[in-house]
Amino acid sequence: MQKVNEIFGILVSKQLMTLDNKILREKATTLANLYRDDLDKDKLSVEIESFKYSVIGSSTVSSGNSTMDKNSEQAACNGGDQHEEVDMDDEAAAKEKLTANDPSKVKFTSVNLDGKNGDAKIDIHVAQTTVGMGKEELMKYANEPFWVRLRMFLFILFWVAWIGMLVGAVIIIIQAPRCPPAPTAQWYQKAAMYQVDVETFQDSDGNGVGDIKGLISKLDYLKDQHVDALMLSAFYKSEDGGIVEHNEVDARFGSLADFDELVQQLKEKNIRLVVDFVPNHSSNKHKWFLASVEGQEPYKDFYTWADAPAGDKSTPPNNWLNVEGESAWTWHDERGQFYLNTFGGNLPDLNLRNELVKQELRDIIKHWLEKGVDGFKVVAASHLVEDADLRDEPVATVKSQSKREYNKINHIYTVDQPENFGLFADWKHIISNFTTSTLPKILMAETSGSMNTTMLYYGNETYALAELPYNTHFTEIHENINGVELKHHLDMWINNMPSFGWPTLLVGSQNVPRLENRVGKELVDAIHMVATFTKGTPLFYYGDELGVSDIPAETKNKKSKPQTVMLWNNESYAGFTNETTSLPVHPNYTTINVEVQEKDPHSHLKIFSRLLALRGQPALNFGLQDYPIVTNETFSLIRVRKGSPGYLVVVNLGSAQSKLDFTGKSGYLPETARVEIRSSNIVDGPLADGEHPKVSLSEIPLEPKQSVVLSFVPVFEG
């Protein structure tokens, strides 16, 4: 009986006998029946031993994955109503100790209460053990003052610590040194701008005059050259050389619908559009001028009128000159007064002190903003307002190199008057508050005054005026310029510019000779390199990328402009039109044109395109600028920014070969560099040995008028 109790205790307490163990369940039942029937004791002992080894040999403890050994059944529980004490040997005692924490208890009894054997009954229950104090005991201490104070102290300490950490984190964030914000450049600072005259760029309908549809057909050409912004010369409805309707497209060039299509196509190609804004004058056929001549209100004072001194119409009101060197005043018989015309008798000056005129100009700006333009170039910005008292201007005390009569007068009363800046502030306000686009709209100022007065068109840090004022300063570079003079031209603008300003470099325009005429064919690439890589926004003029020169005087009629039509190919009229044209066509168009130069990897055009492709490089947008070697014969320029390639521009301006050693000339320069772009006149030697040959910066060989752009990994200490 004792052994049966032991075995059942082991089975149950160790979870060996489960409902899923069919074999053990059957053996346990057999043992119970033997015990109940009070069979032979020897047979019962044999069955017990068999059962023991079945358990030990085939069963595994589920929770611990440990196997019972041969004597594991020695651990037993008390069973039966008799509550017999079980004597355990040392091994059983050890097992009991191991299972002492097992909450399962087994009770094995007979259901026969009269002392005879009967059915076996197994009672299993789990004894609940409690560690620590109960709820009632704990509650005795809950309200004691000591524990109340301790809880309150810990609660307050937690929140004080939490708030302290929060305040500390805020202080660290505020006082910790910040990384400088990543620099950003506006679109007009990264852009290379390309100026086009609609009339001479491309004819689409065969009438011999360029038009907007023709321009649209050539937008892929601009994209291929990496042009970022298109500057469009005046295309407004005109007559007798002046504007007669500022809000309309001249019928020769197309319609407003064509202009809308142009804007859409440019936006799809991510090219910005800047248009001419001409506030200084109009045509003498403009309805405003015709009404002003008749004295009609409100147009009577839309223009600048003045009486003849002492009634003598042969004597102008003062000594002011127009840009052609003639009197700036023209007598009008019908009106019986003189009218001011800075740019010729057919272009009378508007009176920009008249509030109604200023409102008309505001409306013109708004009209084109709504059409989708990205900016305005204010034409003749220096001439907007003149002295109200019409005082004579003094004779120039410093003789000008120019032979023009206009330059013999010191224009202190007709150029860059203080009221000009008020007008720019008014226009800037309109543009800045135009909110249909996230990109900034810009003002450009075409000035003709001194360097100091040109800088005034930037405005100040509080009231900005023009983002890109410019004059003809950079176009004064000539074929015989030396390195020191070239550096001086670049430094003059940067040194005079306000700290918040951005430089502008006019490389070409319709008002100056072609680049090739100014610097010579051999330096065209060099000037394009300098203009592209120096700090600032370059303004290029169509055709200069081909090295086109001015039309020879003997090949053009007196009425034609000096600009040739764009030279597209060697077909008739250079591919400008499929019919005929009265516009000048350059006589060398069969050899100098887009089609020819696109096939030549070392042409002016290909070099121009590769230069503009690098305009987006961080070193050019945000990099430092320095001049490692500058002499009369040599000019060099580097642009570097940490984390991006650096660039070195080298130009031989002398008349002899040079071998330049840049060792120790700049801390940013390594020992070697790669040829990025070379001028078209470099055809052999180490600089032409492959597409991008690696060269030593200790020996850069250049023949006269040759130039090269080198790329390198800049050296930064620390």
What is the band of 54 on the pLDDT scale with cuts at 50, 70, 90? low
Residue 152: is it exposed, middle or buried by C-beta count within 10 angstroms (0-12/13-18/19+)?
Answer: exposed
* pLDDT score recorded for residue 113: 45
What length is written for the chain? 718
**pLDDT band of 396, cuts 50, 70, 90:** confident
43-52, 97-106, 167-176, 369-378: segment of lowest average pLDDT: 97-106
Higher-confidence position of 28 and 638: 638
Candidate from 53-67, 283-297, 496-510, 680-694 with smallest mean pLDDT: 53-67
What's the pLDDT tens digit per position in 590-609?
A: 999 999 999 999 999 999 99
pLDDT at 137 over 80: no
Exposed/middle/buried for 313, CB within 10 Å: 0-12, 13-18, 19+? middle
Q: Residue 253: pLDDT above 80?
A: yes
Predicted pLDDT at 152: 86
Q: Is the pLDDT of residue 18 over 50?
A: no
What is the per-residue pLDDT for 81?
41
More confidently predicted of 27 and 508: 508
Which of 74, 122, 131 is CA-nearest to residue 101?
131
Specify the DSSP class assigned to residue 457. Answer: G
Fill in the DSSP letter of residue 461. Answer: S
Give residue-wise pLDDT tens across range 329-379.
999 999 999 999 999 999 999 999 999 999 999 999 999 999 999 999 999
Contact predicate 282/355, CB 8 Å = no
Point out the least confidently predicted range of 100-104, 216-220, 321-325, 590-594.
100-104
Pick from 64, 86, 85: nearest CA to 75: 86
pLDDT in tens, 260-281: 999 999 999 999 999 999 999 9
Residues 466-525 pLDDT 10s: 999 999 999 999 999 999 999 999 999 999 999 999 999 999 999 999 999 999 999 999
pLDDT the model gives residue 84: 42
**Is 17 a residue whose pLDDT tops 50?**
no
Portion of the chain with pLDDT greater than 90, in percent: 69
Mean pLDDT along residues 384-403: 84
Residue 6 in this model has a pLDDT that exceeds 70:
no
Q: How many helices (H) and strands (E) does the chain have?
A: 21, 23
- 18-32, 560-574, 633-647, 673-687: range with lowest mean pLDDT: 18-32
Buried b (16+ CB within 10 A) or exposed e, 467-501: bbbbbebbbebeeebbbebbbebbeebeeebeeeb
pLDDT surpasses 70 at 401: no
The answer to whether 682 touches 693, Cβ cutoff 8 Å, is no
Per residue in 356-365, pLDDT tens?
999 999 999 9
**pLDDT for 82:** 40
- According to the model, what pLDDT value does residue 129 have? 52
pLDDT tens-digit readout, 99-127 = 445 444 444 444 444 444 445 454 544 45
C-alpha span between 482 and 480 (Å, rounded): 6
Report, as an integer, the average pLDDT of 137-165. Answer: 83
| Cβ contacts of 517 within 8 Å, gap of 6 or more | 549, 550
In 3D space, the residue among 664, 681, 672 whose CA is nearest the CA of residue 646 turns out to be 672
Instruction: Please state the rounded mean pLDDT for residues 46-52.
Output: 59
**CA dihedral over 32, 33, 34, 36, signed as positive or negative:** positive
3-state secondary structure of 161: helix
For residues 146 and 388, which has the higher predicted lDDT (pLDDT)? 388
Mean pLDDT computed over 577-597: 95
pLDDT band at 2 (very low <50, low <70, confident <90, very high): low
Lowest-pLDDT choice from 22-36, 139-153, 489-503, 671-685: 22-36
Range name among 15-24, 208-217, 683-692 with the lowest pLDDT average: 15-24
Tell me the two tokens of residue 191: 């852009």
Domains and CATH numbers, the chain: 1-37 (no CATH), 287-340 (3.90.400.10), 622-712 (2.60.40.1180)
Mean residue pLDDT of the chain comes to 85
* pLDDT value of position 155: 87
Q: What is the pLDDT of residue 663?
A: 94
**pLDDT beyond 60 at 225:** yes
Q: Which residues contact 163 (CB under 8 A, 6 or more apart)?
A: none
Please give the residue that has the higher pLDDT: either 84 or 633.
Answer: 633
Q: Which residue has the higher pLDDT, 237 or 153?
A: 237
Instruction: Give the separation between CA 436 and CA 442, rounded to whole angstroms.
Output: 14
User: Over 50: is that where the pLDDT of 140 sits?
Assistant: yes
Listed in sequence order, the residues at least 6 apart from 343 whose beta carbon sits closer than 8 Å to its beta carbon are 280, 281, 322, 323, 380
Provide the pLDDT for residue 718.
59
pLDDT over 50 at 71, yes or no: no
